[in-house]
Structure 1
């Protein structure tokens, strides 16, 4: 009797949930259909899954900066806008439309006078990170989606403890789901050493997190408000190629210094303020912006815009729109690397239109998947693009491609944490660096071409000749691709 009543209640709740999704929530039709199928065919499991990964985020949980800080930023950005109005050098640049579009989306001002160093290998990157952390004098702000206490993680934590003991202000922010192994117990010695720690969207129970669908996927390091790191690498031994499951880990990260570092630091401090409720005085972070010797408004290279996005009540998906802006402004080529190719329809259509307009488009995805269904979902969207002349490459099957990059025309490239998928564009909290520099864009394009030598090109003939078994797996994966 009790079981029968519970069964009826679950079915009623599922029906109410479906109706609510249709009439009250701003979801894509694919998402509604996918969840309706799950809730209907698997009512009990589906209801639990919906609670964990299906709910839209509460508006109260969406990060909004304090009114005083917003007013401060508004005053400052108004000053920037006034100075740019008379700046002909930016207006006459080939990237002006992209720069202005992205500046109008969020707090993503164009900054020049930067120095940028690219990293495509984990060992080289982490050697640089460790060395830079050891040289910190005033502050270290470090944030990762995945932070493990394995060999490389322990090395970083050791340095953070040493620096905190020496008087450096150290903040460590990690995601509750991505860094689930980083427990308070394991962090006790770090906290005792004076390191401040914060957990983004912590779970009431470690294994049950009702916000697990909305993750802070950002990877940020800012040292002394002068040096910044951002890109695709997390902290873990597998990112150094030590996990036989993945093999060599191919990713892209940047280290940079200059005026754009402050914007990356503000991104970190915004997340930190939300997670810890620490009231931070931003005066010291922003003071250098007021100096014209530090921030020259003339258009010069390398220029950088730090752009971030995440769930919001207005459906403003800044990073997705930045991808669209780059695709639509490309004239010669578009090279994309992403471990996940689960495309929003607007991005898919823009790529198709660019390709039939004569733009050379090459997309590189992994030769193997790191999650169930993802590999087959990637193939669905890749196959659709092949019909429009877009070239698809599978990276070396003995390695794993995790790089999240877009480069166009040897003039602009995007390097950061956001994949080319719906989750990164609409659900996760992400951050990218848009770099306006011929030399950097050329290096990114040349690295893509090197990666092509290790890749297999997927031809339209090969895709059309795939087995029925593969087609079934693709169809099933596409059905639920909006949930991946």
Structure 2
């Protein structure tokens, strides 16, 4: 109770001077309006307090409310509400877990896992327990290094579809590549292929209605994930589907960093060349990708397709050259699944940790793990873009550079356009590729999907690609970086202060 009273007094002390000045100029009406707003902000403070958030988040919200009360209210309703996620997604989480446990029991590889040895065995055991997804040794994967290679392979495989096509994307644009995709899907739908297309309502908010209607009229089922009816009152507004998934006939899958848009082909002059990484998957692990999509589809439509017709069609075995594990994580999970696996990867590394991420705003756990790894003598490298596409995140990420550089982490800025790859490589043997950024939104709020690769040809390809990317990058030197002007440092610190709110 004392804490609640303390927060109330703090709100009044912070906000009171604002309203006193307003009241003097505008009279009684504004006085009562200001009083109502003050009480309203105090209630919000109680809610934040009772949610037991990270103390940094709580303090950041108090500062925002005190400095910008009106804007702070709007910002809180749009991005800040931390509704009980287990209540919102309880049904989805329960059904997801039951379904994943079923396929996990059908694909056990205990002997192969034991052959991996200590830390690798622990990592895949952790991933299986958290994500309820088995590791496969009969899955073929191939790395796709850019938009041209990725979309060429996607269109090629879509044209081969005979039974169904499932797509799930954060961003879909009605531009040149978007129209190419649309035309292929419309043609396949007319041939009788079942097509289900799930797109995120926020990520694709600019998507033309005509684009959706054209696909629907051709027979494609188009569904928005998390539709926005009244954003200020929508308790799922802040939880977005950031996944990029395609499953074709249950036997071929795609996942990784590329959305559907011309900028991913390097055609947007604002970004120029676009460096990204995608993955094509064939064989047993496609079933996991299929299941992730079908669960998201069921959550959005109440239509269930969890049948052998869809889940067994991808069970044919391919010549796997190592372990492949596909993991979906999100706010419906009991644990912060992908972040926990990343943490385990970093802390179990013996020689090196290499990370590529377009957005680097880590929480305390990941930041400390990276610094300790570097201080322990490991080769820790971080690759980030030099040119930003999201300025708040870009400036916030740079506030982490001094302490990381001081601990021995080497930081490189990619110079050839925009770098959007989301990669972690440990000891040049274990790698992760997917949709998860190294930031708090991906860890705690977004629905994501990642592939974890152990001693596969794809993992080796990611190693070689990372080395090539470093040749096109400039290393950040601590002495030069520390000489940034005071105005830029203030801007960066302000962005970091705001980053826990997002």
Determine if the TM-score, normalized by the shorter chain, exceeds 0.5.
Answer: yes
Quick one: distance in 2 between partners of 1:68 and 1:459?
49
CA RMSD in angstroms, aligned pairs only: 2.2
Which of 334, 341, 357 pairs up with 1:322? 341
Contact 1:116–1:302 under 8 Å retained in 2: no
8 Å CA contact 2:133–2:326 kept in 1: the answer is: yes
Structure 1: runs of 5+ lacking an equivalent: none
Q: Which deviations, in whole Å up to 9, do the C-alpha atoms of 1:437-457 show, x marking residues without a partner?
A: 243222111111111111110
Map 1:257-336 to 2 at 5 A: 257-287=282-312, 294=317, 301-312=321-332, 314=334, 316-336=335-355
- Cα distance, 1:339 vs structure 2: 0.7
Asked if residue 166 in structure 1 is aligned to residue 184 in structure 2, the reply is no
What is the rounded CA distance, in whole Å, between the counterparts of 1:91 and 1:29 in structure 2? 41
Partner of 2:47: 20
TM-score computed with the length of structure 2 as normaliser: 0.89
When normalised by structure 1's length, the TM-score is 0.92
- Name 1:88's counterpart in structure 2: 111
Equivalent pair of 1:343/1:422 in contact (CA under 8 Å)? yes
In the alignment, the residues of structure 1 paired with residue 313 and residue 282 of structure 2 have an alpha-carbon distance, to the nearest angstrom, of 13
Which segments of 5 or more consecutive residues in structure 2 lack a partner in the other structure? 1-27
Alignment of 1:72-471 (within 5 A): 73-78=100-105, 80=107, 83-84=108-109, 87-94=110-117, 95-204=120-229, 211-287=236-312, 294=317, 301-312=321-332, 314=334, 316-396=335-415, 398-471=416-489
Q: Secondary structure at the match of 1:480?
A: helix
Q: 1 or 2, which has the higher helix percentage?
A: 2
Q: Name the CA shift for 1:417/1:26 in 2 (closer, same or farther; >3 Å).
A: farther
How far the C-alpha of 1:108 sits from its partner, in A, is: 1.8
> Shift in Å at residue 281 of structure 1?
3.4
Contact 1:288 1:294 in 2 (8 A): no
Aligned length: 472
Report Cα offsets for 1:268-291 as digits up to 9, x if no partner. 1111111111122322233368x7
Deviation at 1:61? 3.0
Structure 1 runs of 4+ aligned residues shifted over 4 Å read 66-73, 205-210
Aligned mates of 2:52, 2:300 — CA distance in 1: 26
Cα distance in 2 for partners of 1:166, 1:357 equals: 59
Q: Deviations over 1:295-328 (max 9, x none)?
A: 99xxx633211111111474x1000011011111
Output one character per residue of 1:352-394: Cα deviation in whole Å (capped at 9) or x when no partner.
1111212101001110211132221111112221010100001
Could you tell me how far apart the structure 2 residues matched to 1:404 and 1:68 are?
29
- Between the aligned partners of 1:63 and 1:445, the Cα distance in structure 2 is 39
Structure-1 residue corresponding to 2:79: 53
For the 8 Å contact 1:231–1:415, the answer to whether it is kept is yes
- Given that 1:133 and 1:140 are in contact with CA atoms closer than 8 Å, whether structure 2 keeps it comes out as yes
8 Å CA contact 1:114–1:256 kept in 2: the answer is yes
- The farther-off stretch of 387-396 and 349-358 is 349-358
Specify the SS of the correspondent of 2:407: coil
Contact 1:342 1:421 in 2 (8 A): yes
Output the CA distance in 2 between the equivalents of 1:353 and 1:9.
Answer: 48
SS of corresponding position for 2:453: strand
